[in-house]
Amino acid sequence: MTNNHHQQLTIRQEILSIIQESADHNESIKREMAGFVQGLANPDGGYRGRAAHSDLYYTIFAVELLSVLAGEFDTEGLRKYIETFGDGDGMDLLELACLARCWGNLPGDWIPAERQAKILGRIETFASADQGYNINPSAERGTAYGCFIALHAYQDLGVELPDPGGMVGCIESLRTADGGYANEPQLPIGAVPSTAAAITILHQLHNPIDPELGAWLAACHHPNGGFLAIPILEEPDLLSTAVGLHALSLINDIPDTIQTPCREYVRGLYDPRGGFRPNRLEEDLDAEYSYYGLLASGHLER
């Protein structure tokens, strides 16, 4: 395995650059959010989600937000926390990708080479027969989500993806009749998160992206707010809005017709407690949706 020396920004770097721009636009929100996220820290070095205990998944969003909002986070605390997971023995694909991403957020070459190799070896057990990745280790076909988090993990550990062409082939097999991408094979309609994952993967692997996907994504925008996860739903959500806007930014400009309602929708989800709500129906805050809120805001402020 060789280190990746491509000059193109990784997925994480691209997204954090947008979040940084968003945070810098409003100092008062930046301070409120920094206080909220700092309050999620636990003594073990991890960060909690909506439960009291530290959670590896939510820790990712917390440390990346703090790197933007406060300029720093407790790197030694994070290292001690993720050391407790060792080489990822017994973890599923998402947990392994979270572990890799936490290591990727630490400065320099903190991860031992042997541990890096073992984590990536375990990720490869989730490679599907079609050269994609699936959270099910025995799957014949990969999924958009599986490919996305596997690519993320390789980037976070600074290693070349073993078979980029195979992953692209897997992604293209997920194109749906309506013009989007589904997470799994043979689903009849596309989904915004899956389509955004597919577009991001194609962009990162230097493959052409069908410009018609811009129209498909724009059609998933709800006239009174954000993006719908799938076209048949009635209530938009912040995750779909953030990743939909990000995907649009990779293939063309965000249409003027959706910018104002999206901006109002995202602003309406900000809570003075220091975070963003997932949608208009939920009141709970966490680091993940606060991350999506800044990502969406950053694209709309550009």
- Is residue 111 within 8 A of residue 157, CB to CB? The reply is yes
Amino acid found at 290: S
Q: What is the average per-residue pLDDT within 133-156?
A: 97
Q: What is the mean pLDDT of the chain?
A: 95
CA-based angle 192:195:196, to the nearest 5? Answer: 85
Evaluate if residue 4 carries a pLDDT over 70.
Answer: no
Predicted structure pTM score: 0.95
Write down all domains in the chain, each with its CATH number in brackets: 11-301 (1.50.10.20)
Q: Is the dihedral of CA 92, 135, 15, 287 positive or negative?
A: negative
Q: How many CB atoms lie within 10 A of CB 163?
A: 13
Rounded to whole angstroms, the Cα distance separating 81 from 118 reads 18
The more confidently predicted of residues 252 and 179 is 179
Q: What is the average per-residue pLDDT within 164-169?
A: 98
Q: What is the pLDDT of residue 3?
A: 40
Q: What is the pLDDT of residue 7?
A: 65
- Is residue 227 within 8 A of residue 244, CB to CB? The reply is yes
CA-based angle 168:172:176, to the nearest 5? Answer: 155
pLDDT above 90 as % of the chain = 93
Rounded to whole angstroms, the Cα distance separating 35 from 43 reads 16
Evaluate if residue 258 carries a pLDDT over 80.
Answer: yes
